[in-house]
């Protein structure tokens, strides 16, 4: 799971989820709608009205987490064995078990979202936010432990990933008290985009370098360019936020931006 596919697919999911979040936030900003209780468009009244209330984000988490969980379990030749049969017994596949824990958490978080929006008599936003925050607290702990035996390029890549996860954890924690704040939700979408794109980039750097030659752990230039590429990801993903803010600026220029001074 620690190979190219193990970085590409989770990164692709996170990037797609970030795009979904950005689209939801930008649409709510344009029509001045609530982000927690999106109104149903008039054209969707009737037989298709139920589709509007489905938690698509929760379904995406549920399906993706389930697929990745199954992949982790079956990607090893001897399956997921916890301990060997030697004496004294030793734990096996520590990183794979950490990956499995991450994906199970993602699946459970998707279940919570679907249950809150589609099964409970009344939606519980605090339950959804709390579940997501708890997921990222555990993810941060797992990532810190994940880099214990890494060095050089891989260590630098994971340090930058941990930085994004830490910032996202802080934003999600603040959202427990202000869940309907546009600014925080835009930052959340941006950080999901960052996390996804950087995870995909990590797969190419570590396992499929574009040049065909592996990056060198003892080359300071390679390590410095890892950070440079990360900064490029920040700039590229920032453009998405600017695009969505630009839409809002054209619709309601005084509701989100400071007015211009008169000449």
CB burial string 40-58: b at 16+ within 10 A, e below: eeeeeeeeeeeeeeebebb
Chain centroid, CA 205 distance in Å: 20
Q: Per the domain annotation, does 262 fall within a domain?
A: no
Q: Per the domain annotation, does 11 fall within a domain?
A: yes
Span 224-244, average pLDDT: 85
Stated pTM of the model: 0.82
- Residue 102 and residue 146: Cα distance in Å, rounded? 12
Domain region containing 61: 4-256
Mean pLDDT of the chain: 80
Among 9-13, 39-43, 59-63, 163-167, which is the least confidently predicted range?
39-43
Q: Per the domain annotation, does 116 fall within a domain?
A: yes
| Intra-chain end-to-end CA distance of the chain, in Å | 60
CB 147 within 8 A of CB 156: no
Tokens standing for 150? 């890494």
Give the relative orientation of helices 125-146 and 94-114 as an angle to the nearest 10 degrees. 170
- Residue 131 and residue 225: Cα distance in Å, rounded? 36
- Residue 134 and residue 112: Cα distance in Å, rounded? 12
Q: Is the pLDDT of residue 262 over 70?
A: no
CB 211 within 8 A of CB 31: no
Tokens standing for 206? 């570590």
Q: Per the domain annotation, does 176 fall within a domain?
A: yes
Residues 6 or more apart in contact with residue 7 via CB below 8 angstroms: 199, 200, 202, 203, 206, 207
Q: Per the domain annotation, does 163 fall within a domain?
A: yes
SS (H, E, C) 74-136: HCCCCCCCCECCCCCCCECCHHHHHHHHHHHHHHHHHHHHHHHHHHCCCCCHHHHHHHHHHHH
Per-residue confidence (pLDDT) for residue 248, from 0 to 100:
53
Q: Is the pLDDT of residue 145 over 80?
A: yes
- Residue 144 and residue 203: Cα distance in Å, rounded? 19
**Bond into 260 cis (ω within 30):** no
Q: Per the domain annotation, does 164 fall within a domain?
A: yes
Q: Per the domain annotation, does 134 fall within a domain?
A: yes
Percent of the chain with pLDDT over 90: 27
Q: What is the DSSP letter of 257?
A: S
Give the count of domains, the chain: 1
- 10 Å Cβ neighbour count for 191? 23
Q: Is the pLDDT of residue 122 over 90?
A: no
Residues 6 or more apart in contact with residue 247 via CB below 8 angstroms: 26, 29, 30
Q: Per the domain annotation, does 261 fall within a domain?
A: no
pLDDT bracket for residue 33 (50, 70, 90): low
- Residue 20 and residue 113: Cα distance in Å, rounded? 15
- Residue 205 and residue 233: Cα distance in Å, rounded? 14
Span 213-228, average pLDDT: 89
Tokens standing for 55? 């938690």
């Amino acid at each position: 799971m620690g190979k190219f596919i193990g970085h590409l697919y989770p990164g692709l999911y996170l990037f797609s989820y970030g795009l979904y979040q950005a689209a939801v936030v930008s649409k709510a900003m344009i029509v001045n709608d609530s982000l927690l209780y999106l109104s149903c468009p008039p054209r969707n009244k009737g037989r298709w009205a139920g589709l509007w209330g489905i938690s698509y984000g929760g379904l995406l988490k549920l399906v993706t987490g389930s697929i990745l969980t199954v992949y982790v379990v079956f990607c090893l030749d001897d399956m997921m064995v916890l301990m060997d049969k030697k004496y004294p017994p030793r734990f096996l596949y520590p990183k794979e078990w950490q990956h499995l824990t991450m994906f199970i958490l993602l699946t459970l978080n998707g279940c919570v979202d679907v249950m809150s929006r589609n099964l409970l008599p009344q939606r519980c936003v605090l339950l959804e936010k709390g579940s997501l925050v708890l997921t990222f607290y555990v993810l941060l702990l797992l990532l810190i432990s994940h880099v214990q035996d890494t060095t050089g390029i891989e260590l630098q890549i994971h340090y930058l990933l941990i930085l994004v996860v830490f910032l996202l954890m802080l934003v999600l924690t603040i959202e427990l008290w202000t869940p309907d704040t546009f600014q925080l939700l835009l930052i959340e979408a941006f950080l999901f985009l960052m996390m996804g794109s950087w995870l995909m980039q990590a797969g190419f750097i570590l396992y499929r370098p574009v040049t065909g030659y592996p990056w060198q752990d003892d080359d300071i230039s390679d390590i410095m360019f890892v950070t440079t590429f990360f900064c490029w990801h920040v700039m590229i993903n920032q453009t998405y936020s600017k695009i969505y803010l630009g839409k809002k600026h054209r619709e309601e220029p005084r509701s989100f931006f400071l007015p211009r001074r008169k000449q």
